[in-house]
Chain A
Amino acid sequence: MDKLVNKHRSGRLRSGIILFFVLMLFWLMLSSQLRIDVFVIGTIVALVIVLLYGDGLSFLTELRLTPKAILTGFQYYGYFFKELFKSNFKLAGIVLSPSLPINPAIVKVRTRLQSRMGRLMLANSITLTPGTLSVEMDGEWLYVHWVCMETADIEQATARIVSGFESYLEVMYG
């Protein structure tokens, strides 16, 4: 029992520290200058927010901070931007062709990710990748609108839509 409480406390401390540094980073980016008064104000406000909302914002801090996870994060963003460009060119092709070649459907896919942040990132990534838009999420099931449906089968659709991002996000968030 004691151990559990301790674990909970250290979890809170950890997420509080990460939240503090995220807030400080955003504040410093917003003010774009490293003066002492800016720094002091940022520290005070970030501390107050961490004390007030320490638990409520814990989904922001679910990421892992091992070197491998951080490296995978960079790879993930590389892949993400590649897919974003691909999806835009594909969409431009569809929109510019006179016959509007679309074949829409809402298919169902499954994800292996467990954490909330991981699932959120997966849904966001799916929305921004070629021809797909996540419509609804129900536990491990995702319903995805597909402009040019290739297959309605759950396993095959999962392989086409989800696997690419999932392998990165699994390392980053679990």
Chain B
Amino acid sequence: MEAIMDIIGGLLMVGGACFLLFGGLGLIRMPDIYNRIQAGSKTTTLGTLLTLAGAACLQPAWGWKLLLIGIFLIFTNPVSAQVLASTAHRRGAHQSPLTEVDRLAEDREGKA
């Protein structure tokens, strides 16, 4: 039984690490800041959560503390992503020419 849990935990951690790798790849490949934030925030959240779940499978005694770290990450990761995105937009960060519509910029101009 314990051996099975160990294998599941190890595989969860490898899977989480793969998502982190996709996030890093997205960070390099994406053309502008908003797409990079998307790649960075989603993949790191799931990747780290899977790693924490894997660690909980290997060491059930650490479960509560790992859960606490997980809860914290679920709440803070998207908040920092959103704060970065809104700051970048306010300071007029470079936008990819692929961007089709920007309602926020339109509304800002309309008010100004």
Contact = CB atoms under 8 A, between A and B. Distances in A.
Interface of A: 26, 28-30, 32, 84-85, 87-88, 91-92, 94-96, 100, 102-108, 120, 123-125, 127-128, 131-136, 143, 145, 147, 149, 152
A65 B103 CA distance: 37
Residue with the highest number of chain B CB atoms closer than 10 Å, among A85, A96, A102, A103:
A102
Contacts of B104: 106, 108, 135-136, 143
B103 A128 contact: no
Interface of B: 19, 22, 25-26, 29-32, 34-35, 37-39, 41-43, 45-46, 61-62, 64-65, 67-68, 74-75, 77-79, 81-82, 85-86, 89, 96, 98-105, 107
B79 A95 contact: no
A103 B41 contact: no
10 contacts: A28-B64, A29-B68, A104-B35, A104-B96, A104-B98, A106-B102, A124-B78, A136-B89, A145-B38, A152-B100
Contacts of A26: 68
A32 B63 CA distance: 9
